[in-house]
Amino acid sequence: MLRFLMLIALIAGTSYAQSSAEHEFLEGIKSPEVTVVHLWAPWCSNCQAEFKTGGWSKIITENPQVRFYFVSVWNNGEDGRAMLQKFQIADQPNVTILADPGPRKGDNKIKQFAGMPLSWIPTTWIYKGGDLRYALNYGEVRFDVLQQFLQDSKSEWSHKGEPSIASP
């Protein structure tokens, strides 16, 4: 019985273990610069549509100070590098390509990445200094909107010192 309980504890502990992709991503977003993470998979038609427009390649090239993480999820541990190379993304100096090892299908497919919910791909998150600035969780990115979010994320705004709207 004791061995069985130890096995259950071991399985439970490993099912919540952070993947190397998550670890590398979490280290990367600590940068004071703007960081974008794009969760995608090569088999996803919405992801393919984004690449075909050339929008990703263009926005990466036009924002060399921004770090981009392309994380393939629900793709059985494959990183999709061939597709990213086809669309001139893989070899850009400000791009990191990662793959989550989680399964693609079924009840065991990951439902969160780095503590954030993941229910749809493509999903795009924008960080600055470790803080989430924008989360586009459902579908294809409009690149003019993404560019605006990148610009807005560079600002140093704060609500400190503003009057409260709470009633006395």
Written as one letter, the residue type at 86 is K
Q: Where are the beta strands (DSSP E) in 51-122?
A: 67-72, 95-99, 112-113, 116-117
State the DSSP code for 122: S
pTM over 0.75: yes
Position 50 scores a pLDDT of 93
pLDDT digit string (tens) for 86-137? Answer: 999 999 999 999 998 877 777 878 888 888 888 899 999 999 999 999 999 8
**50 burial class (0-12, 13-18, 19+ CB within 10 angstroms)?**
buried
**Quick check: 113 and 23 in contact, CB under 8 A?**
no
71: how many CB neighbours lie within 10 A of its CB? 28
Q: What is the mean pLDDT of the chain?
A: 84
**Is residue 72 over pLDDT 50?**
yes
pLDDT band with cut points at 50, 70 and 90 for residue 11: very low
